[in-house]
Amino acid sequence: MSANTTRAAAGRGAGIGLRTVHLAEIRAASQIIQWVEVHSETFLAEGGPRLRALEAVRRDTALSCHSVGLSLGSAGGVDPEHLRRLRLLYDRLDPWAVSDHLAWSAHAGAYLNDLLPLPYTSESLAAVVRNVDHAQHALGRRMLVENPSRYAGIAGCEIPETAFLAELVRRTGCGLLLDVNNVHVSAVNLGLDAQAYLDAFPLEAVGEFHVAGHAKATVDGVPLLIDDHGSRVSPAVWRLLARALRRGGPRPVLVEWDNHVPALPVLIGEAAQAQNLLNAARDQDAGLPAAA
């Protein structure tokens, strides 16, 4: 599949997160799966059966790569060795998109098993701009940066998250990955208006949407949503996705499912629901009446 064909395929609709448990059966379903996304760090080995299996999938199906380890919010910068290994992978696979998170997960050579939030200040913005510029130059391609899920407010924030992301786009030329589940999780946890957040989001910079399931917990008697990617997408998140697609237009949508991974047909069914919303947004753009 050529790069142009890959981008056209991804632009048509909804995809699924490809997990290694499905590698053996995914090629048989390539005719009904528009595209897949993988976690880049899972495939950083420079050879071996897992990477060969992914290359076989890549020949039939459009692919994007989503990394979790660049730590774009780190004051100390991005690890050049990690960038080097990602560049080798991306040059080998030629994904239609690459992405990472507005978060930090490393400090002074120590790597933390989480995506941690950062305060939205002019100082942190300058650091993220440097890191995204460095990463895009090292990778030789434009990145998409994902909005975080949040569980508590951070003191000292000077800039709204949507404005922070818009300024990051303006200064670096990067794109954005809008995770709609993260919007819902953050809104519930922080008492924010999810629809107002979407209305303020720079949707023109969005290259990809994510949706996923979340878990409900109680901490010190307070309800909390956890972005665990371990269940079906909730009705509230589907509604927010529909709103974002109506306002920003159809873009590729990925269904993520990382924990308690179900059988492949379940993921395909979730992607079909996302495709229905994409089709409705496309009909709206074309001035067609909504389907009954």
pTM of the predicted structure, to 2 decimals = 0.92
Mean confidence (pLDDT) of the chain: 91
Higher pLDDT among residues 26 and 92, named by residue: 92
Is 205 within 8 Å of 169 (Cβ atoms)?
Answer: yes
pLDDT tens column, 204-237:
999 999 999 999 998 888 889 999 999 999 999 9
Q: Is the dihedral of CA 112, 73, 143, 285 positive or negative?
A: positive
Residue 3 has pLDDT above 70, yes or no: no
Higher pLDDT among residues 97 and 222, named by residue: 97
Per-residue model confidence (pLDDT) at position 223: 86
Which one-letter amino acid corresponds to residue 239? R
Could you give phi then psi for residue 156, rounded to 5 degrees? Answer: 90, 5
What's the CATH architecture for 3-285?
A: Alpha-Beta Barrel (3.20)
Q: Which two tokens stand for residue 59?
A: 């020949």
d(CA 149, CA 68): 14
Chain centre to alpha carbon of residue 6: 18
Which one-letter amino acid corresponds to residue 94? D
pLDDT tens column, 145-158:
999 999 888 888 99
Higher pLDDT among residues 134 and 24, named by residue: 134
Q: How would residue 11 be classed by pLDDT, with cut points 50, 70 and 90?
A: low
Strand partners, 217: 224
Q: Closest Cα to residue 70, out of 16, 13, 139?
A: 139
Higher pLDDT among residues 247 and 31, named by residue: 247
Residue 292 CB contacts under 8 Å (≥ 6 apart), including other chains: none
Per-residue model confidence (pLDDT) at position 112: 67
If DSSP codes are grouped into helix, strand and coil, which group holds residue 144? strand
d(CA 62, CA 254): 12
Per-residue model confidence (pLDDT) at position 137: 98
d(CA 281, CA 128): 33
Chain centre to alpha carbon of residue 92: 21
Q: Is the dihedral of CA 21, 70, 64, 167 positive or negative?
A: positive
**Stretch 121-150: mean pLDDT, rounded?**
97
Per-residue model confidence (pLDDT) at position 15: 96
**Stretch 240-247: mean pLDDT, rounded?**
96
DSSP 8-state code for residue 41: G
pLDDT tens column, 56-72:
999 989 999 999 999 99
